[in-house]
Amino acid sequence: MFADFKAQPADKILELMQLFRDDPRQGKIDLGVGVYRNAEGVTPVMRAVKSAEQRLWSEQETKAYTGLLGDPAYATAMCGLVLGDAVSQDSIAAAATPGGTGAVRQGFEMVRYGNPDVRVFVSDPTWPNHISILNYLGIETVTYRYFDANTGGVDFPGMLADLEQARPGDVILLHGCCHNPTGANLTLPQWHEVIEVMRKTGALPMIDLAYQGFGDGLDEDAAPTRAVAAALPECLIAASCSKNFGIYRERAGLLITVSQDASNTPLARDTLAFLNRQNYSFPPDHGARVVTMILDDPALRDDWQAELEATRLSMLDLRHQLAAELQKLSGSDRFAFLGQHRGMFSRLGATPDQVKALREKHGVYMVGDSRMNIAGLNAKTVPLLAKAIIDTGI
């Protein structure tokens, strides 16, 4: 049997990581891998996480299974962080998952379970794993226009026109904030226009919220998700703790369903439990419990929010530094969009040949579609990147 397996295409980001490791040059810059790094190039353990883990180590008395949906306290804490008071508690069902990717996968499983003929509308471009998972599950995908390479912003008229083609039973996959891979985001008024389109078409919104707190602030980044949940009959939300709590390897995520008809909530909860049972049974708990401890303890929460805000501002400062340096070197504002984008990523707008030239001639590593991780920069490498961009003719 094993000899009959098909060889899988290589993961482009993993390939890029290996190329970077093999490059002997001292001044090389890694803008490919999607993790936050501080000015020293380290992905740190947050202070509040360390404190919570120390307390957990001393207080925890069992490693027995949690329930199929995970610890209820985790769901309560995370739903409060994501949704605030936008919807009533009896309209919410939630299941802990192995990271945000696990929540996305379970969300796709859920919509297929509810409608075997479901179509999922995805932005062009989107996080590549969205497409990979949908293809693996045999779910039809429909792309909608999103990124305008000429302006570095959102092609909003094109997006609306494409979303208007959705039908009842379709799913619209939306990035809650800090769009990956482009960094270009909708304004809140534009979100309300998208809500009206979904209201008219009857399509189900599914929001991938992987970067809450990395864009404009915790509540500001959650505002679009809260608006969708409050305005439409139903929605799905896949939330991740990997970035904003810095616990990538602990795999803490949450899949949330919201139904304005609260009588549907028990059935949604049972379905979430059923799907978890078919996949991994009981979800991992360590990261989820650490998150719960932080969110439920005022002192830990304050410290976490302070460090998260410092992280957000550091990325925003790097954006402004890079945009200013490029303006100085190019004598134009054509890179101003980099300062307007939010989150870890921006799409530079370079061709694959230009991305290759950046790597080979300047030791700058980014994904082939010119997505770059802003958090891979620091004050010393910003001028080097800017010069490499201009020298490459981008």
The answer on pLDDT for 11 being more than 80 is no
Alpha carbon distance 106, 375 (integer Å): 29
Least confident of 7-11, 111-115, 261-265: 7-11
pLDDT score recorded for residue 84: 96
- Residue whose pair of structure tokens reads 């001639």 in the numeric block: 361
Catalytic residue (choose from 52, 94, 127, 323): 127
Q: How far apart are CA 375 and CA 323, in angstroms?
A: 14
> What mean pLDDT is reported for the chain?
95
Q: Where are the domains of the chain?
A: 10-45+313-391, 65-296
pTM, to two decimals = 0.94
Q: Is 210 a catalytic residue?
A: yes
Dig out the tokens for 304 from the structure: 């976490």
The model's confidence at residue 10, banded by pLDDT at 50, 70 and 90, is confident
What would the DSSP string read from start to end of 106-150?
HHHHHHHHH-TT-EEEEEES--HHHHHHHHHHT-EEEEEE-EETT
CATH topology of domain 65-296: Aspartate Aminotransferase; domain 2 (3.40.640)
Closest Cα to residue 254, out of 125, 72, 21, 115? 72
DSSP alpha helices (H): ranges in the chain? 12-22, 47-59, 72-83, 99-114, 128-137, 156-163, 188-201, 218-231, 265-279, 286-296, 298-330, 337-340, 352-362, 381-391
The per-residue pLDDT for range 123-159, each reduced to its tens digit, is 999 999 999 999 999 999 999 999 998 899 999 999 9
> Predicted confidence band at 349 (pLDDT cuts at 50, 70, 90)?
confident
CA distances from 149 to 36, 130, 183, 297, 394 (A): 25, 21, 12, 44, 12
- 127 noted as active-site residue: yes
**Of 162, 170, 208, 285, catalytic:** 208
Q: Do domains 10-45+313-391 and 65-296 have the same CATH topology?
A: no
Fold of 10-45+313-391: Aspartate Aminotransferase, domain 1 (3.90.1150)
Of 50-54, 93-97, 187-191, 346-350, the one with minimum mean pLDDT is: 346-350
Catalytic member of 94, 148, 184, 243: 243
Q: What is the end-to-end Cα distance of the chain in Å, rounded?
A: 48
Q: Tens digit of pLDDT for each residue in 208-226?
A: 999 999 999 999 999 999 9
